[in-house]
Amino acid sequence: MDHPEQTSGLPNCNNYLGDDVRYYDSHELLDVALQHPGDFAPGTSWKYSNINYILAGLLIQKIPTSPSPKRSTDASSNQ
């Protein structure tokens, strides 16, 4: 998997957390970032932002998973 291109323009949530050192849920961090204007229009520039990775992680969590197909161990399946 390639790294996010960092061209979303979304602001880096770390810039807005202040001195509140604690665990933040991914949704909290996304909410913090989205309270602020983007740094630029998507695709027009490049700037590192943690929120790109957080957003990618949230999207990956939405991918449905299914169990792996079971391999038959029945002797008759070998014929």
Does residue 72 lie in a domain region? no
DSSP H or E stretch at residue 56: helix 50-61
Total tally of structural domains belonging to the chain: 1
Looking at residue 64, its pLDDT comes to 87
Q: Is residue 77 part of a domain?
A: no
Euclidean distance between CA atoms 39 and 3, whole angstroms: 19
Task: Please report the pLDDT score of residue 66 as a whole number.
Answer: 72
68 located within any domain: no
Provide the residue range defining the domain that includes 31. Answer: 1-62
Q: Is residue 79 part of a domain?
A: no
pTM of the complete model:
0.69
In a domain, 7, yes or no: yes
Report yes or no on 74 lying in a domain.
Answer: no
Tokens of 74: 């029945």
C-alpha to C-alpha distance for 63 and 6, rounded to whole angstroms: 22
At residue 23, the pLDDT reads 94
Question: Does residue 3 lie within any of the structural domains?
Answer: yes
- Say which residues have a Cβ less than 8 Å from residue 33's Cβ, sequence separation at least 6: 10, 11, 12, 13, 16, 49, 51
pLDDT at 1: 47
53 occurs within a structural domain: yes
**pLDDT 10s digit of each residue in the chain, 79 long?**
455 689 999 999 999 998 888 999 999 999 999 999 999 999 999 999 999 999 999 999 998 887 766 665 555 555 5
